[in-house]
Amino acid sequence: MSPRSKKERICSCPLKGKAFKPTGIPMTAIERIPLYKDEVEALKLCDLDGLTQAEAGRKMGVSRGTVQRILSGARRKTAMAIAECKAIVLEETICKQEVNNESMFSSKRHFRT
């Protein structure tokens, strides 16, 4: 049985393809950790903008529990990358992008396992 499809999230972070890594280490020689667009959005809303998980869930179009799970994974990945000198590579996910108050579905959809 295949896993349930991920619900589309509303994300406003246009970051696909960017990477953050320790200086002095070439990308070819460093382990990469994928950070998905919905994870960046949840980190931004809760940790930078100071929203509660319930408020972030309403903005992203998902439940508070989903935001909690997204945040947990994103924080773990970020801490691992910093502590273990790994690169964070921003990847696409299932998101609706808000552009000028209009919704536009992202063209790529990757399902995480």
Report how far apart, in Å, the C-alpha atoms of 90 and of each of 14, 20, 106, 108 are: 10, 8, 15, 13
For 52-69, how does the pLDDT look when each residue is reduced to its tens digit (9 = 90+)?
Answer: 999 999 999 999 999 999
For 67-86, how does the pLDDT look when each residue is reduced to its tens digit (9 = 90+)?
Answer: 999 999 999 999 999 999 99
The first and second tokens of residue 29, run together, are 């020689």
The answer to whether 10 and 102 have CB atoms below 8 angstroms apart is no
Task: Classify domain 9-105 by CATH number.
Answer: 1.10.10
- What confidence score (pLDDT) does residue 16 get? 59
pLDDT band, very low/low/confident/very high, at 15 (cuts 50, 70, 90): low
- What confidence score (pLDDT) does residue 98 get? 46
Q: Give me the residue spans of the domains in the chain.
A: 9-105
- What confidence score (pLDDT) does residue 33 get? 93
- The mean pLDDT of 7-19, rounded to a whole number, is 63
Residue 107 has pLDDT above 50, yes or no: no
